[in-house]
Amino acid sequence: MKRLFKKILIANRGEIAIRVMRACRELGIATVAVYSDADRDAIHRRYADESIHIGAAPPSESYLKLDRIIKAASDSGAEAIHPGYGFLSERAAFPEACKAAHLAFIGPPAEAMHRLGDKLSSRALASKHGVPVTPGTGAIHDLDEARRAALEIGLPVIIKPSGGGGGIGMKVVEREEELRSALESAANQARAAFGDPTVYLEKYVHNPRHIEIQVIGDQHGHVIHLGERECSIQRRHQKILEESPSPAVTPEIRARMGKAAVTAAKAAGYANAGTVEFIFSNGEFYFLEVNARLQVEHPVTEMVTGIDIVKEQIRVAAGHRLSFHQDDVTWSGHAIEMRINAENPAKNFMPNPKRIQRWMAPAGPGVRVDSGYGPATEVPANYDSLVAKLIVYGADRAEAIGRAQRALAEFVLAGPATTIPYHRAILASPDFKAGKLSTGFIAEHPELLEDMRKYLDEVSPMDYSAVDSRRLAAAAAAVSTVMSQGQGRA
- How much is the pLDDT for 488? 42
Residue 490 — pLDDT band, cuts 50, 70, 90? Answer: very low
Residue 443 has pLDDT above 90, yes or no: yes
Quick one: 239 and 312 in the same domain?
yes
| 13-24 pLDDT tens trace | 999 999 999 999
- How much is the pLDDT for 1? 59
CA distances from 371 to 160, 182, 231, 385 (A): 32, 38, 20, 12
Cis geometry, peptide bond prior to residue 351 (ω within 30 degrees of 0): no
Q: Which of 162, 177, 203 lies at the terminal end of a domain, its last residue? A: 203
| 359 strand-pairing partners | 413
- CATH code, domain carrying 162: 3.30.1490.20
Tally Cβ neighbours within 10 Å of residue 14. Answer: 24
Mean pLDDT calculated for residue range 346-357: 96
Question: Percentage of residues in the chain with pLDDT exceeding 70?
Answer: 94
CA distance 364 to 406: 10
Write the DSSP string, 330-381.
---SEEEEEEEESEEGGGTTEE---B--EEE---STTEEEEES--TT-B--T
Residue 470 has pLDDT above 80, yes or no: no
Task: Compute the mean pLDDT over every residue in the chain, rounded to the nearest whole number.
Answer: 93
| 120-160 pLDDT tens trace | 989 999 999 999 999 999 999 999 999 999 999 999 999 99
Quick one: 249 and 227 in the same domain?
yes
Answer whether residue 267 is part of any domain. Answer: yes
| 26-42 pLDDT tens trace | 999 999 999 999 999 99
Quick one: 191 and 230 in the same domain?
no
What residue numbers bound the domain in which 185 lies?
135-203
Residue 449 has pLDDT above 60, yes or no: yes
- CATH code, domain carrying 227: 3.30.470.20
| 280 strand-pairing partners | 209, 285
Quick one: 40 and 20 in the same domain?
yes
- How much is the pLDDT for 323? 96
Mean pLDDT calculated for residue range 60-65: 98
Question: Percentage of residues in the chain with pLDDT exceeding 90?
Answer: 87
- CATH code, domain carrying 64: 3.40.50.20
- Per the model's pLDDT, the better-predicted residue between 431 and 467 turns out to be 431
Residue 202 has pLDDT above 90, yes or no: yes
| 287-303 pLDDT tens trace | 999 999 999 999 999 99
Mean pLDDT calculated for residue range 351-377: 97
Half-sphere exposure of 327 (CA within 13 A, CB side): 0
Answer whether residue 336 is part of any domain. Answer: yes
- For residue 489, indicate whether it is catalytic: no
- How much is the pLDDT for 467? 58
Residue 489 has pLDDT above 60, yes or no: no
Quick one: 157 and 262 in the same domain?
no
- Set 123, 293, 315, 339: catalytic member: 293
Answer whether residue 301 is part of any domain. Answer: yes
- How much is the pLDDT for 116? 92
Of 248, 262, 230, residue with least CA distance to 131: 262
Quick one: 384 and 323 in the same domain?
yes
Number of domains making up the chain: 3
| 304-342 pLDDT tens trace | 999 999 999 999 999 999 999 999 999 999 999 999 999
b/e sequence 390-417, b meaning 16+ C-beta within 10 Å: bbbbbeebebbbebbeebbbbbbbbbbb
Residue 167 — pLDDT band, cuts 50, 70, 90? Answer: confident
Quick one: 143 and 66 in the same domain?
no
Answer whether residue 22 is part of any domain. Answer: yes
- How much is the pLDDT for 485? 54
CA distance 115 to 126: 11
- How much is the pLDDT for 484? 53
Residue 96 has pLDDT above 70, yes or no: yes
Quick one: 379 and 231 in the same domain?
yes
Quick one: 261 and 383 in the same domain?
yes
Mean pLDDT calculated for residue range 429-444: 97
